[in-house]
Structure 1
Amino acid sequence: MTDLIASTRAELLRLRKWPAFWIVLGTWILLNLTFAYLFNYLAYTTGSSTRMSNGLPRDLLLRQMLPASVPEVYTQGMAMFGGALMLVLGALAVGSGYGWGSWKTALTQGPSRTNVIGAVVLSLAVTVAGLVLVAFVVDTGVAALIAATQGQSAALPSAGRILLGIGCGIAILGMWTLAGAVIGALARGPALAVGLGLVWVLVVENLLRGVAGIFAPIRAITDHLPGTAAGSLAGSLRTVTGPATPGVLDVLGRGASLIVLACYVVLFAAGAVWLIRRRDMV
């Protein structure tokens, strides 16, 4: 356990010193604020209903920008865009070790392979949890500012709603981060892993769901894809009707979505560990 903790601290230090790490996390926070609040606020103040605000009327737009709606709003972009960025982070965190040769050094001269690989998984889990918490705090602060300027209630959501939103965010982003990690281990490099991951998230799953609409036999598969489960979990938090954010779905219920995501988390984590432990490092 001591070696695992020490390895995790070392891995977290490596990530903190890595510019790409902060670029990815900062990009997600910026995109989250832009799409969840900036565009909606501009649509609300100008009185126009735009595609960026999903055509919602002004009263619903304002309600979506208040603190009480933060758990619902800040998870909407995680299913596709946030998930894609975290997949990139996972692919870079694991795949770059092959290009730099650091995996070979760590696994042959450092602690046991189990501790080294476990430290990577734990460090990514800590990163995801920290990002979700920071995003929640930032979004709540922005929502409170909007509520104050518009003379609206700045009441926070219930504790249960807050925990639900944070838990769903961790489940969604955690799954995509580990997906990137296993692709990085499979491709043995960051570039190919990032490319394959983004093509899957942004293109392949959408095409498969489109095909399922006209070819029912594959619907059982498409209904349980990673993106479908993530989008359904984000969709289960919605309280408004109308067009949803891209990637947000209502295919699975909340319970089913959590079960599917948990299965993928275990599968991806086990896959990454197995690939790094069993294959040579040449």
Structure 2
Amino acid sequence: MTDLLASTRAELLRLRGWPAFWIVLGTWILLNLTFSYLFNYLAYTSGEQSAMSDGLPKEVLLQQMLPAAVPEVFTQGMAMFGGALMLILGALAVGSGYGWGTWKTVLTQGPSRTAAIGGVLLGLALVVVALVCAAFAVDTGVAALIASTESQSLALPSTARVFDGLLTGTAILGMWTLAGALIGALARGPALAVGLGLVWVLVVENLLRATAAIFAPIEAFTNRLPGTAAGSLAGVMRTVDGPATPGVLDLLSRTESLVLLGIYTAVFAATTLALIHRRDLV
């Protein structure tokens, strides 16, 4: 346990000093604010129902930008775009150790392999929790500013709704981060891992679900994919009708989505641990 905690602290220290780490997290916060608030506010002030506002009426747009709607709004982009960015982070965190040769050094001279690898995974998990909480706080601040500007209610969401939002965000981003870590271990490098991960998240799963719509026998398979579980969990948070954010689905219930995400997260973490622990690093 001492070695695990020491490895986790070392990993967090490494991540904090790595520019790519801040670029990935900053990009997600910026995209979240841009698509959730900036574009919607511009559509609201212009008074036009356009593609930028998904055709929603002004009143609905405004309600979606108030503090009470934060748990719903900040999770909508996580299923695809936020997940893709966190997959990149996971792939970089694990895959870079092969390119830089740091895995060989750590695993031959440092603590036990289990502690070293576990420290990386635990560090990534803590980053996910911190990012979700930070995004929630930032969105709440922006929503409060919009509410004050438009003389609207500053009422916060209920405690249960806040918990649901934080749990949803953590489950989705945590699963994709560990998926990236696994691909980084499989590819033994960051570049190929990032490419493969993005192709899967942005292309392959969408093509498989489109195929399932015209070829029913594979629907049972596509309904159990990681992206389907993540998109369905985000979809459960929706309270308005209209076009959904890309990647947001309504195929599975909340319980089914959480169970699948939990299974995928555990499998990705265990497989990454086993791969790096057992095989030759040459």
Residue aligning to 1:132:
132
Partner in structure 2 of residue 78 of structure 1 = 78
Can you list the C-alpha shifts for 1:46-70, whole angstroms capped at 9, x where unaligned? Answer: 0112212211110100000000000
Paired residue type of 1:170:
T
Q: Does structure 2 conserve the Cα–Cα contact (< 8 Å) formed by 1:54 and 1:245? A: no
The aligned runs of 1:55-134 (5 Å cut-off) are 55-134=55-134
Amino acid at match of 2:128: V
Query: Aligned partners of 2:50 and 2:84: how far apart in 1?
Result: 25
Q: Deviations over 1:23-57 (max 9, x none)?
A: 00000000000000000000000011221221111
Quick one: distance in 2 between partners of 1:130 and 1:50? 35
Aligned AA for 1:226?
Answer: P
Distance (Å, rounded) in 2 between the aligned partners of 1:52 and 1:174: 29
Counterpart code for 1:205:
E
**SS of 1:244 mapped into structure 2:** coil
Residues 134-173 of structure 1 mapped to structure 2, 5 A cutoff: 134-173=134-173
Once residues 187 and 74 of structure 2 are traced to their aligned partners in structure 1, the CA distance between those partners, rounded to angstroms, is: 32
In the aligned structure 1, how far is the partner of 2:267 from the partner of 2:3? Answer: 24
- 1:1-282 matches, within 5 Å, as 1-282=1-282
Q: Distance in 2 between matches of 1:50 and 1:29?
A: 24
The answer to whether the 8 Å contact 1:49/1:56 transfers is: yes
| Cα distance between partner residues in 1 of 2:50 and 2:253 | 29
RMSD: 0.5
**Contact kept? 1:229, 1:260, Cα under 8 Å:** yes
Shift of 1:210: 0.3
Identity %: 75
Give the AA of the match of 2:256: A
Q: 2:149, 2:187 → 1: CA distance?
A: 50
Q: Residue type matched to 1:147 in 2?
A: A
Write the distance in 2 (CA, Å) between the matches of 1:54 and 1:231: 18
Q: How high is the TM-score relative to the length of structure 1?
A: 0.99
Determine helix, strand or coil for the equivalent of 1:213. Answer: helix
Amino acid at match of 1:237: M
Task: Give how far 1:80 is off.
Answer: 0.2
- Looking at structure 2, the residues matched to 84 and 109 of structure 1 have their Cα atoms a distance apart, in angstroms, of 33
Q: SS of 2:191's equivalent? A: helix
For 1:249 and 1:275, locate their aligned partners in 2 and report how far apart those are by CA, in whole Å. 32
Please give the TM-score of this superposition, normalised by the length of structure 2.
0.99
Counterpart AA for 2:129: A
The aligned amino acid for 2:227 is: G
| Gap regions ≥5 residues in structure 2 | none
**Any conservation in 2 of the 1:76–1:234 contact (CA below 8 Å)?**
yes
Contact 1:21 1:89 in 2 (8 A): yes
Which shows bigger deviation, 8-17 or 46-55? 46-55
Q: Distance in 2 between matches of 1:100 and 1:48?
A: 52
Letter of the 2:210 partner, please give it: G
